[in-house]
Structure 1
Amino acid sequence: MSDLTSAITGYWDDAAPTFDEEPDHGLRADRTRAAWDRRLRAWTPAHPADVLDVGCGTGSLSLLLAAAGHRVTGVDVAPRMIEQARAKLSSAGLAARFLVGDAAAPPTGDDRFDVVLCRHLVWTLPDPRAALREWAGRLRPSGRLVLVEGRWRETGQPYVEGAGSLPWNGGLGAADLAAAVRPLVADLRVEPLSDDADLWGGSVDDERYAIIAYA
């Protein structure tokens, strides 16, 4: 494990106890939770499907997917995030599989999925283009790659030392990410999300969007 990868793991492990305090992380408000539930139902099959949630964090989206009847596998590099995800679904009476591991190369063996979901992750990755190839390769022939991403405003809060070397540090605009994904899939569409304040617990003024790509 490189020093940068180790620092990234430590950062998110340390962030786990307070991670859900952000409105779009914990989904504690009814309006925010309902907004994400509507989007996820639109992006995923109506029938029960196998969903891989990469960079699942504390499992808030995994919980919504499991509640909708999907078979969910969540992967995150931070053990404390995974602990919270397991507890969150257990307390809700829902089942899912959670694994500690590199979201860019999920430790799921030869398993293939109907949906691979990634939210707010590509900016943290040392090699995001390799991760995109990996995720597209985990899809079944009729599968979907769902990327919820953005180009973030500077918050003034430091990330990890060396983050400036990350290829997509600070996020990536929709046009650029779509260009990176397009060679890997048969088709895709972009949905702007910045104007849906319910998703974020309030209005935002940076670029946020989803790419729904089809194998």
Structure 2
Amino acid sequence: MTDPAAAITAYWDAAAQDFDEEPDHGLKAADTRAAWARLLTSWLPPAPADVLDVGCGTGSLSELVAGAGHRVTGVDLAPRMVERARAKLAEAGLPGRFLLGDAAAPPTGRETFDVLLSRHLVWTLPDPRAALEAWVSLIRPGGLLVLVEGRWREAGESAAPYGAGGGTLPWHGGITARDLTVAVRPLVTDLRVEPLSAEDALWGGPVTDERYALIARV
């Protein structure tokens, strides 16, 4: 029997080589990079803050966070993603710590953070509600939970990493801002949602599905 965690790790390891070719992954275009940098600046507290980037991938957002003067820790399940994230920040001459582990239960011990940042991750999790509870427990009082999420127009594309079992994930195909708000609200003191679908520069072009950021204070 195939180990689901091993299959997921293998998928993202294989995806690491070309991951940054997507405009909103690699942030190679100046306008896309600037758009994400602007958003992060508007969301995060004044530097330096301790930021945990869960499901950090190749570290593109971590690089922007570190470049803004914050202390960033990234977590990802895939070794090759972590390798690329470390190399990306080293090449930029920026400090950053990257840990190999399950983003749903970050291997950070008893550490806490000022901000927990996650982008396009919750749909991949077998128990996203438990992950949200775990994440909130890692945030210092008064800190922020920042979730960049969406409900993808083609739900089938999100099934690929998990093969035939992808459709059994609770939030397969993404989650609407309304539904994520319902899940997060009991865990936080206040929250707001910023629609992002119309921000073409963030995605490298127009998108037709729902994309947004949920920013909550703990």
Check whether TM > 0.5. yes
Report the Cα offset of residue 211 of structure 1.
0.2
Unaligned runs of 5+ in 2: none
Partner of 1:55: 55
Partner of 1:7: 7
CA distance in 2 between partners of 1:156 and 1:165 (Å): 12
The letter for the 1-side match of 2:76 is D
User: Within 5 A, what are the aligned runs for 1:112-123?
Assistant: 112-123=112-123
Partner of 1:190: 193
TM-score (normalised: structure 1): 0.97
CA distance in 1 between partners of 2:21 and 2:155 (Å): 16
Unaligned runs of 5+ in 1: none
Partner of 1:75: 75
Q: Deviations over 1:58-107 (max 9, x none)?
A: 00000000000000000000000000000000000001000000000000
CA distance in 2 between partners of 1:204 and 1:56 (Å): 22
Matched, 1:178 2:181: yes
User: Within 5 A, what are the aligned runs for 1:1-215?
Assistant: 3-154=3-154, 157=157, 158-161=160-163, 162-215=165-218
The letter for the 2-side match of 1:159 is P
The letter for the 2-side match of 1:136 is V
User: SS at the partner of 1:28?
Assistant: coil
TM-score (normalised: structure 2): 0.96
CA distance in 2 between partners of 1:174 and 1:208 (Å): 8
Does the aligned pair in 1 maintain the 2:58–2:85 contact within 8 Å?
yes
How many corresponding residue pairs?
Answer: 214
CA distance in 1 between partners of 2:93 and 2:26 (Å): 17
CA distance in 2 between partners of 1:21 and 1:189 (Å): 31
CA distance in 1 between partners of 2:155 and 2:30 (Å): 26
User: SS at the partner of 1:205?
Assistant: coil
Report the Cα offset of residue 155 of structure 1.
6.9
The letter for the 2-side match of 1:168 is W
Change in CA separation of 1:156 and 1:178 when aligned onto 2, cut-off 3 Å: closer
Q: How well do the aligned residues superpose, as a CA RMSD in angstroms? A: 1.1
CA distance in 1 between partners of 2:26 and 2:143 (Å): 27
CA distance in 1 between partners of 2:130 and 2:23 (Å): 30
CA distance in 2 between partners of 1:105 and 1:112 (Å): 13
Report the Cα offset of residue 51 of structure 1.
0.1
CA distance in 2 between partners of 1:84 and 1:204 (Å): 27
Report the Cα offset of residue 160 of structure 1.
1.9
More helix by share: 2
User: SS at the partner of 2:85?
Assistant: helix
Report the Cα offset of residue 109 of structure 1.
0.4
Identity within the alignment, %: 69
The letter for the 1-side match of 2:89 is L
CA distance in 2 between partners of 1:120 and 1:5 (Å): 18
User: SS at the partner of 1:74?
Assistant: strand
